[in-house]
Amino acid sequence: MLVLGIETSCDETAAAVVRDGREIVSSVLASQIKTHQRFGGIVPEIASREHLDKIVPIISEALERASIRALDVDGIAVTVGPGLVGSLLVGVSYAKAMAFALNKPIIGVNHIEGHIYSVAFENPPLEYPAIALIVSGGHTNVFFIPEPGKYKVVARTRDDAAGEAFDKVARMMGLGYPGGPVIERLAREGDPKAVHFAIPRMGDGLPDFSFSGLKTAVTKYVRESGLQPLQDGEEPSQRIKDLAASFQSVVVRSLVGTTKRIAEDYYPKTLIVAGGVACNGQLKDECRKIAAQLGVPVYFPSPHLATDNAAMIAAAGTVKLMAGERADLNLNADVTLRLQNIDLEEEAAKRAGARYKL
Ligand code: KG4
Ligand code: ZN
């Protein structure tokens, strides 16, 4: 089955052709990072205008690189949410127009589910149940996945996403946008124990994350220690590198500690770590350690599949299309779309002896 994936939820216009949900035939992407860099973050209005300019050439290029015509695809999968409304609408409208004109099945994909499927290409077939840590600029969640397409949110962020914290702290330190890659680079030469930041714990005992307090703690440290943000062209000082290492290390400890506790309760057969922050080397190293302790394989997407792309959307869409799911032309963007949360008690009752924490 050949599926055309279309992704325009944020600041990347992406299209991909994927065979049987596991083989990338082509994957093309136009990034808007340069456009938004000078604003220190994404400007939604500009993002949707750029998607409008790029959507036609990007889809044509994906088809061309796959050496197929639009008529050769068996279905179209498009991100319907969550994301920026103007951006999502460009992809959804175009996908619907294509599906109508070509008389092809169309399916809407949740962007987060797409990130989960970003590990489908370079790894052995996933074994379930799985635990997925999804960490990006917009999301930080741990999901329990008893079987394909069923999700239970076990932990979520109460405020900022982990990637957002990287971006905001980088901006505060004068390091530019996006913050994750540059903080990681500086952290390699810094001392993670130089500045002490505490891992926030929830008063109600839930395993949720919180990163906005950490951002405030970094702001306070910068103000009180008199650390100056980096100026254009200036070499980063050892203190900036130490701050980067200390910040990165507490974010990683928070993500990994929580994921490990959850995995100990849910007995997964696979650990998935995906989303833009899954490019981070320290996060990957620490996840490999806990996976070894738990005795399960851990799968990461390679960097070009960790950040937003359309191949992951096509892979998630393929599973639905193969199961016979179809959307109609009323399909619409849903800015706050959530993955449908299953009732674990019901699920466990269906499988006698399933070792889920209830
Ligand atoms: O998945 P993604 O491309 O977009 C969203 O769906 O949000 O993730 C982008 C986020 C940004 O916040 C960026 O700073 C972060 O991923 N990121 C990283 C690294 N590379 C990208 N964070 C930490 N370390 C990295 N190496
Ligand atoms: Zn994303």
Q: Is 137 helix (H, G, I), strand (E, B) or coil?
A: coil
Write the residue with the smallest CA distance to atom 1 of ligand 1: 276
Please report, in tens digits, the pLDDT of each residue of the chain (358 residues total): 999 999 999 989 999 999 999 999 999 999 877 887 878 778 888 889 999 999 999 999 999 999 999 999 999 999 999 999 999 999 999 999 999 999 999 999 999 999 999 999 999 999 999 999 999 999 999 999 999 999 999 999 999 999 999 999 999 999 988 899 999 999 999 999 999 999 988 888 899 999 999 999 999 999 999 999 899 888 999 999 999 999 999 999 999 999 999 999 999 999 999 999 999 999 999 999 999 999 999 999 999 999 999 999 999 999 999 999 999 999 999 999 998 888 877 766 666 555 555 4
Predicted pLDDT at 335: 94
Q: What are phi and psi of 108, to 5 degrees?
A: -90, 140
Pocket of ligand 1 (CB under 6 A): 10, 136-138, 163-164, 166-167, 178-181, 184, 275-277, 279-280, 307-308
How many Å apart are CA 197 and CA 208, to the nearest integer?
A: 18
Q: What's the CA-to-centroid distance between 111 and ligand 2, angstroms?
A: 6
The pLDDT of residue 80 is: 98
pLDDT of residue 346: 73
Ligand of minimum distance to the alpha carbon of 42: 1
By most ligand atoms within 8 Å of CB, the mutation choice from 10, 279, 283 for ligand 1 is 279
pLDDT score for 355? 58
DSSP 151: B
Distance in Å, CA 204 to ligand 2 centroid: 29
pTM, full prediction: 0.93
One-letter amino acid at 122 equals E
Which of 136, 139, 247 for mutating ligand 1's site (highest number of atoms within 8 Å of CB)?
136
Residues shown for the chain: 358
User: Which residue has the CA at smallest separation from atom 3 of ligand 1?
Assistant: 307
Element (H, E) at 193: none
CA 126 to chain centre: 18
pLDDT at 353: 56
Q: How remote is the CA of residue 136 from the centroid of ligand 1, in Å?
A: 5
Question: Given this model, what pLDDT does residue 358 score?
Answer: 42
Q: Report which bound ligand comes closest to the CA of 244.
A: 1
The residue type at 219: T
Give the span between the Cα atoms of 321 and 315, in whole angstroms.
10
Instruction: Find tokens 């981070």 and name the residue.
Output: 280
